[in-house]
Amino acid sequence: MNRLTFLLRKEFRQIFRDKIIIIMMFAMPTVQLIILPLAMDFDVKSVNLSVVDHDHSTYSQQLITKIASSGYFKMVGAEASYRDALTYIEKGKTDLILEIPAGFERNLVREGAQKIGISADAINGTKAAIGGNYLNTVIASFNAGLGINVTANLTSPPASIIDITWSNWFNPLAEYKYYVVPGVLVLLLTMIGGFLSALNIVKEKETGTIEQINVTPIKKWQFIAGKLIPFWIMGMIVFTLGLLVCRIVYGITPEGSIPLLYLFAAIYLIALLGFGLLISTYSNSQIQAMFTAFFFMMIFMLMSGLFTPVESMPLWARSIANLVPITHFIKVVRMIVLKGSGFSDVQPELLYIIGFAIILNGWAIWNYRKTS
């Protein structure tokens, strides 16, 4: 234990001697957690719309007014022809084109039906799909409120209708921040812990101090533990700061057990830091370690379920996602923070993370070679 205490004292002195590391570990995640969720707004609130009105009737003007006043659309143009409106899509100035044909009002009154055209810029597929759904909803509402349809509904016998009542559980207002912020917190904790631990041992190699340590009677597990424990403590402090930012800035407080949340964070950090130290044992320079860590961090980010639900991925991608520790930790944080899940609900994820921690740290200890 005296050897481990000596190593810990050395590591803490080395960490606090480098002011840049302190700034990276505490200031950067805090600022990023404040800014990133504000930019990662998955709600489509402003869809650019260009209108081509060939009818210029009372009904067409009422439809355009209803769309403009819905709050979802920004009217960027009213062209005389579809070809002119198409140039807005080609220049990236509009997302949707609404084309109202000639005889729009006449056909509605006489025949009770009329088709209109909607063209979407599908380069941004998500925005095109959501914007199209918004537009269909507004048009359906306009159609239901037409005088001729209201009169027809009163004179015809009522049809059998299934009345659907729905509600949002755990996020009543369906606000994106409750879904994104916990995931961003885990992502930042992963990036900070993974990169710094990956550069740790290799830094000793570049400065030459690793040779001095190797000739001492320090055992391999003591060396790895001495490298892991300081960053584990720092990681827990960063996690605490993240929870405070969630509470103060976004008003998010965990519905479940906070000690259970810290239990998962503690074990997850052991697994994550073990992975970073494993990369460091294989690398011969800090640049090599940085690029290796970046390669895996990109996979962790995209496979974590933060941007795309894991259930929506192909089978092979879900298999990879389940092998990534961050996937399980993001799932657990959301379950505890939003749903208030208990230990029995998240126990399988705990076993996953414990398994990762044992394998990654054991591999790092095994791969570290002491040479005299």
3-state secondary structure string, 85-121?
A: HHHHHHCCCCCEEEEECCCHHHHHHHHCCCCCEEEEC
State the pLDDT at residue 46: 80
Name residues whose C-beta falls within 8 Å of residue 208's C-beta, 6 or more positions apart in sequence.
none
State the pLDDT at residue 370: 62
What's the pTM? 0.78
**Taking the CA atoms of the chain, what radius of gyration do you get in angstroms?**
29
Percent of the chain residues topping a pLDDT of 90: 25
3-state secondary structure string, the chain?
A: CHHHHHHHHHHHHHHHHCHHHHHHHHHHHHHHHHHHHHHCCCCCCCEEEEEEECCCCHHHHHHHHHHHCCCCEEEEEEECCHHHHHHHHHCCCCCEEEEECCCHHHHHHHHCCCCCEEEECCCCHHHHHHHHHHHHHHHHHHHHCCHHHHHHHHHCCCCCCCCCCCCCCCCCCCCHHHHHHHHHHHHHHHHHHHHHHHCHHHHHHHHCHHHHHHCCCCCHHHHHHHHHHHHHHHHHHHHHHHHHHHHHCCCCCCCCCHHHHHHHHHHHHHHHHHHHHHHHHHCCCHHHHHHHHHHHHHHHHHHCCCCCCHHHCCHHHHHHHHCCHHHHHHHHHHHHHHHCCCHHHHHHHHHHHHHHHHHHHHHHHHHCCCCC
47-155 maps to which CATH number? Answer: 3.40.1710.10
**CA dist., res. 79 & res. 85, Å (int):** 6
Please report the sign of the dihedral spanned by the C-alpha atoms of residue 67, residue 68, residue 71, residue 74: positive
Residue-wise pLDDT tens digits, 104-127: 888 888 887 888 888 888 887 777
Residue-wise pLDDT tens digits, 49-68: 999 999 988 888 989 999 98
Residue with tokens 């609900």: 345
Render the burial of 94-115: b for 16+ CB within 10 Å, e for the rest.
bbbbbbbeeebbebbeeeeebe
Domain borders along the chain are: 2-40+173-367, 47-155
State the pLDDT at residue 263: 95
Identity of the amino acid at 69: S
Band of residue 89 on the pLDDT scale cut at 50, 70, 90: confident
**Long-range contact pairs involving 66-72 (C-beta distance under 8 Å, separation at least 24):** 66/138, 66/141, 66/142, 67/98, 67/135, 67/138, 67/139, 67/142, 70/134, 70/138, 72/44, 72/45, 72/46, 72/47, 72/131, 72/134, 72/138
For the chain, the straight-line distance linking the first and the last C-alpha, in angstroms and rounded, comes to 23
Residue-wise pLDDT tens digits, 218-271: 888 888 888 889 889 989 999 999 999 999 999 898 898 999 999 999 999 999
- 154-163, 166-175, 295-304, 338-347: which range is least confident on average? 154-163
Residue-wise pLDDT tens digits, 307-333: 888 888 899 999 899 888 999 999 999
**CA dist., res. 263 & res. 355, Å (int):** 15
Please report the sign of the dihedral spanned by the C-alpha atoms of residue 314, residue 315, residue 318, residue 319: negative
